[in-house]
Amino acid sequence: MSKFAFTLLATDPTSMARAGLWETPHGTIETPAFMPVGTAGTVKGLTPDQLAATGARKILANTYHLALRPGPEVVADLGGLHRFFDWSGPILTDSGGFQIFSLAKLSRMTEEGVTFRSHLDGSALNLTPEKAMSIQEFLGADVIMCLDECPPADAPEEHILRAVDRTTRWAARCREAHQRSDQALFGIVQGGTIESLRIRSAEALLPFDFPGYAVGGLSVGEPPPEMYRTLEFTTPVLPVQKPRYLMGVGRPIDLIEGVLRGIDLFDCVMPTRNGRNGMAFTSTGPVRLKNARHLRDTGPLDAECPCQACQRFSRGYLRHLFMCGEMLGPILLTLHNLTFYQRLMKGLREAILEGRGHEFRASQLARWG
């Protein structure tokens, strides 16, 4: 019996949406699921108990950040990521390639790997597929990602084709180098928003029989309708009975549109980063708490939300915290936004189990205005 068995419970007759159960060595995940981002080993501002209270079960950490600081061997000596975070649920690590291009300086890519300078101290480093596997094995996440090449959204087709084929060659090297049988290694499909290249990438990765597949190369600046269109011709090429993970996505509407197009797993910094900046997602649409209209607002941030920010405090108080730069503001809004995202995924799962995926989409859009 595989350590990572994925069981489909229902497929929505009105869309490509699926509801499932995904077993991992650190517990079973109900899909579709949203993974909060804990880049450097913490979901910023929250204790593990607060994070669990949002409904999150699985979290994402970043190889790039942890490899630079404190280093993979240190995390291993401290007991591995689950002990380090004190998180008993599943953890996924991204392989680092994407973060190098978005954060590091002077990054250069060759067939061997990526050389770059640390954004912390400028030291020269290089990341190869083999090193990305070794680092992620030291870190000890349940799900790890191949090292891939994610081109910018506006890259010419020739560049995207080269990135697809290099991603495939690197996937082979990752598959070869990966040792730990208690970790699931996911392949990452590239191809921009070009149907022939997406199919080329997905079909080249199928023979590796990865336990799950990620759709990379999106949420890099392309218009949302282009992302949705790309999913429509990409997910059907991926195995029905394996989890599909859309990287770096997204806004609440993107989660709904992604689920309706066959995606099971998501991660995004949006709920946590926007929360820290005073922007809340609510049942009736986004709320910018620093707006003067909330000065004397005695009501809850979101009347339908069970989280501490909504149950215990007024909008006026939350706004006050942000106006004073008090650390409790970002903490409470991070709690709220992650609770909102988890409740949205729960509602989606229930709608799929009842065969009303499109109706759920219409009802949410009507309320968000």
Contact residues toward Zn ion (CB under 5 A) are 302, 305, 307, 309-310, 336
Instruction: Name the minimum Å distance from CB 149 to ligand 2YY.
Output: 8
In angstroms, rounded to a whole number, what is the distance separating the alpha carbons of residues 365 and 360? 9
Nearer to Zn ion, 247 or 344 (CB): 344
Partner touching 94 among Zn ion, ligand 2YY, none, CB below 5 to 8 Å by kind: ligand 2YY
Partner touching 142 among Zn ion, ligand 2YY, none, CB below 5 to 8 Å by kind: none
Partner touching 148 among ligand 2YY, Zn ion, none, CB below 5 to 8 Å by kind: ligand 2YY
Partner touching 336 among ligand 2YY, Zn ion, none, CB below 5 to 8 Å by kind: Zn ion
Residue 47 burial (CB count, 10 A): 12
Instruction: Name the minimum Å distance from CB 147 to ligand 2YY.
Output: 7
142 CB-side CA count, 13 A: 22
Asked if 216 interacts with ligand 2YY (CB under 6 A), we say yes
Mode of pairing for the β-strands spanning 213-215 and 105-109: unpaired
Give, as ranges, the residues between 311 and 350 that touch ligand 2YY (CB under 6 A).
none
Beta strands in the chain (DSSP E): 6-11, 18-24, 27-31, 33-35, 59-62, 91-94, 105-109, 114-117, 124-127, 143-145, 184-189, 213-215, 244-246, 265-267, 279-282, 285-288
Instruction: Name the minimum Å distance from CB 308 to Zn ion.
Output: 8
Q: What one-character-per-residue DSSP string does 273-332 give? A: HHHHTTEEEETTEEEETTSGGGTT--S-S-TT--SHHHHH--HHHHHHHHHHT-THHHHH
Partner touching 263 among ligand 2YY, Zn ion, none, CB below 5 to 8 Å by kind: none
Q: Name the residue whose CB lies closest to ligand 2YY.
A: 248
Residue among 94, 148, 264, 302 flagged as catalytic = 94
Give, as ranges, the residues between 95 and 134 that touch ligand 2YY (CB under 6 A).
95, 97-98
Name the residue with tokens 């729960």.
346
Site size toward ligand 2YY (CB under 6 A) is 18
Mode of pairing for the β-strands spanning 18-24 and 124-127: unpaired
267 assigned to active site:
yes
Nearest to 93 by CA among 135, 145, 52: 145
Asked if 227 interacts with ligand 2YY (CB under 6 A), we say no
Q: Which stretch binds ligand 2YY (CB under 6 A): 39-47, 211-219, 252-260, 285-293?
A: 211-219
Nearest to 62 by CA among 88, 90, 85, 40: 40
In angstroms, rounded to a whole number, what is the distance separating the alpha carbons of residues 244 and 263? 5
Residue among 148, 254, 267, 302 flagged as catalytic = 267
Token pair for 336: 């709220």
Q: What is the pattern of x (binds ligand 2YY, CB under 6 A) and - over residues 247-276?
A: xx-------------------xxx--x---
Q: Which residues are catalytic?
A: 94, 267
Kindly list the residues in this chain that would bind ligand 2YY in the complex (CB under 6 A): 94-95, 97-98, 145, 148, 150, 188, 216-217, 219-220, 247-248, 268-270, 273
